[in-house]
Amino acid sequence: MLIHRHDDGTDDEDRWRAFLRDQAFGHLVAAGRHRDVPVVVPTQFLLDGDRVLLHLAAANPLLGAIAERPRAVLSVAGDWAYVPGSWKAIDDEDPALGVPTTYYGAVQLTGPVAVLDDPDRIAAVLRRQVVDQEGPDHGLVDPLDHGARLRTIRALELRIDEVRAKFRYGGNVDEAHRRAVAERLGARGRPGDAAAAAHVRIDGA
């Protein structure tokens, strides 16, 4: 993805990690070798330090691509909001000359991927994911209690060796224009507006 300097959040580790924790759902992409198109799989994931944990069905075609070349990209985008052109006009500026845009956050994590087929290791990943989503008192049986069902699942571990983060929230405009957009986002109330407004305010800090 194209990242302009004013949108680049790669060096702000606290921010991109918080963004991924809040989203926790993305697209895992594996190119394999000699394929016309890469394999793209929507998936829940868990960010754990410098690795990503997730699980897929054993029949998932992405595993074939990983077998060919054990490297993948996890792409996550969210907190998006459409900004009408008129919102970017303040004071005596002509609203008709405003340029509409979309604000959003996006993080891409790249690295080698290990496929875990041992039941104990699969169960360990499943435990982590369930606790992450439901809390320690979830009341579910241990994954190992599902027995043969674990054979239909594979756990994956992506070791992060490259991070690209983009937070496109008007970082190239002055505080007055950012404040106007943030106020209008806060008032509109569409899904994503509040999160986008919060990002706009961060970029204006």
Domains, the chain, with CATH or none: 5-86+101-172 (2.30.110.10)
pLDDT over 60 (residue 155)? yes
The whole-number pLDDT of residue 146 equals 86
Residue 34, by phi and psi: left (phi above 0), alpha (psi -120 to 50) or beta? left
**Cα(first)–Cα(last) distance of the chain, in Å?**
25
Mean local confidence (pLDDT), 33-58: 97
Which band of pLDDT confidence, cut at 50, 70 and 90, is reported for residue 203?
confident
Percent of the chain at pLDDT above 90?
83
Pairing of strands 25-30, 39-44: antiparallel
Torsion of CA 196, 198, 202, 205, to 10 degrees: 120
Mean local confidence (pLDDT), 115-125: 94
Compute the distance between CA of residue 23 and CA of residue 17 in angstroms, rounded to an integer.
10
The whole-number pLDDT of residue 8 equals 97
Global pTM reads 0.92
Compute the distance between CA of residue 28 and CA of residue 158 in angstroms, rounded to an integer.
10
Could you tell me which residue, 139 or 167, shows the higher pLDDT? 167
pLDDT over 70 (residue 204)? no
pLDDT over 90 (residue 142)? no
pLDDT over 60 (residue 205)? no
pLDDT over 90 (residue 144)? no
Q: To the nearest whole number, what is the mean pLDDT of the chain?
A: 94
